């Protein structure tokens, strides 16, 4: 019997080919179509973890076959894995960012003088009109003296009810001079709300929108002055007629004096009002200059510069108005003028009015105003406080 020869062939895969054909991931194992029973699967899983536990400390930490690769392979299989440590790290980063923002936006604690605390009042013991409010270790000078409404209101706001000397600390001028100066302290500092540039500009812009050149009541020619003298035949007139003429001349004199007094009173009131406005604007100008130099923050200094720039034209107009008033007041400053004097002065005022009101204001005239009571002597017989 002839023997049958059977040819056997064996296909061998090298390592690279086997890796290309076989899926070595756990997903392949889990999704395999092998007819492996659940019992065998559980046994293999148990064997896997038994070997893993036995070899745990022998497996290198890093490398292709290491704890690191095993962890990464498992993490990739799970998908959307969230490490609790990552969550904690993210929370800590957010907290750091929050604290940094809070630190950047929070104000540093106010500086305080070692002896005169913030919120206290110090007064020059040798000149009690020099009053200062302590803030951020600086001295803020108050406008006015111990009788001013600002000082009285500030004492009340700080809770003092006794005499003013009980609510302040008297300090020598040499000590005061060594305390750094701060911005001036005015009525607006006691207000509840801070104004912006537009609001504050409106307060002084609207306070003086007067134009002297358009004020008809300033013109003395609008106040009648009547000339009346005795007739040439006065001496030959009957006594009764002479008395009638004298009475008429007297009544004309009274009317002329009334015109003088009326004009003088109107001009005096205008001078008083404009003087008060100019003084307030000048105080504001001084305050803004002080704020530009001594305010605590740059935005406060910038605001003061803008306000000073906007205030300038209004202050200049009020000072020029005072120049016109001085020219006119020269003729009617006599408060006790009789009938004849009143007529003479009004006629001079009328004759010079056009020239006085139309001559441009010179710098030296305007410079007579500005500063504490500067220019007050230009208006004799007017009580300008």
DSSP string, 138-207: EEEEBSS-TTSHHHHHHHHHTT--S-GGGGSEEE-HHHHHTSPB---B-GGGGSSS---HHHHHHHHHTT
Binning the chain into helix, strand and coil, the percentages to the nearest 5 are 60, 5, 35
pLDDT in tens, 253-290: 999 999 999 999 999 999 999 998 888 888 888 889 99
Lowest mean per-residue pLDDT among 4-13, 39-48, 91-100, 344-353: 4-13
pLDDT in tens, 78-120: 666 666 677 777 777 887 877 776 666 555 667 888 889 898 9
235 contacts 308 by C-beta, under 8 angstroms: no
Q: Which residues face 170 on adjacent strands?
A: 123
3-state secondary structure of 91: helix
Question: Which of the two residues, 319 and 99, has the higher pLDDT score?
Answer: 319
Cβ count near 35 (within 10 Å): 6
pLDDT in tens, 168-218: 999 999 999 999 999 888 887 886 556 677 777 777 666 666 777 788 899
168 contacts 122 by C-beta, under 8 angstroms: yes
pLDDT at 38 over 90: no
Residue labelled with tokens 């400053």: 333
* pTM of the predicted model as reported, rounded to 2 decimal places: 0.60
Helix axis angle, 339-358 relative to 239-294, nearest 10°? 40
pLDDT in tens, 250-262: 999 999 999 999 9
Question: Which of the two residues, 36 and 116, has the higher pLDDT score?
Answer: 116
3-state secondary structure of 288: helix
């Amino acid at each position: 019997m002839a023997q049958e020869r059977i040819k056997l062939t064996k296909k061998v895969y090298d390592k690279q080919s086997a890796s290309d054909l076989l899926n070595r991931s756990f997903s392949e194992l889990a999704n395999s179509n092998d007819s492996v029973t659940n019992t065998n699967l559980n046994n293999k899983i148990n064997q896997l973890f038994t070997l893993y536990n036995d070899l745990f400390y022998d497996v290198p930490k890093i490398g292709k076959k290491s704890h690191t690769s095993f962890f990464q392979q498992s993490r990739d299989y799970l998908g959307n894995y969230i490490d609790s440590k990552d969550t904690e790290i993210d929370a800590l980063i957010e907290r750091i960012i929050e604290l940094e923002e809070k630190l950047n936006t929070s104000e540093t604690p106010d500086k305080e003088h070692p002896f005169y605390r913030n919120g206290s009042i110090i007064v020059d013991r040798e000149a009690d009109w020099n009053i200062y409010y302590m803030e951020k270790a600086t001295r803020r000078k108050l406008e006015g003296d111990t009788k001013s409404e600002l000082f009285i209101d500030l004492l009340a706001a700080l809770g003092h009810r006794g005499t003013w000397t009980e609510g302040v600390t008297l300090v020598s001028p040499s000590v005061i001079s060594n305390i750094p100066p701060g911005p001036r302290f005015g009525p607006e500092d006691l207000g509840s709300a801070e104004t912006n540039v537009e609001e504050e500009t409106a307060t002084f812009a609207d306070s003086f929108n007067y134009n002297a050149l358009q004020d008809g009541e300033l013109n003395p020619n609008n106040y009648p002055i009547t000339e009346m003298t005795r007739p040439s035949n006065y001496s030959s007139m009957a006594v009764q007629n002479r008395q009638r003429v004298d009475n008429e001349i007297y009544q004309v004199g009274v009317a002329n004096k009334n015109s003088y007094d009326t004009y003088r009173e109107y001009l005096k009131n205008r001078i008083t009002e404009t003087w008060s406005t100019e003084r307030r604007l000048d105080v504001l100008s001084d305050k803004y200059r002080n704020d530009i130099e001594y305010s605590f923050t740059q935005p406060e200094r910038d605001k003061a510069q803008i306000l000073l720039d906007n205030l300038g034209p209004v202050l200049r107009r009020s000072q020029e108005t005072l120049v016109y008033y001085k020219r006119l007041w020269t003729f009617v400053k006599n408060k006790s003028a009789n009938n004849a004097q009143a007529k003479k002065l009004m006629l001079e005022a009328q004759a010079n009015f056009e020239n006085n009101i139309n001559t441009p204001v010179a710098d030296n005239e305007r410079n007579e105003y500005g500063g504490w009571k500067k220019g007050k002597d230009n208006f004799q017989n007017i009580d300008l406080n």
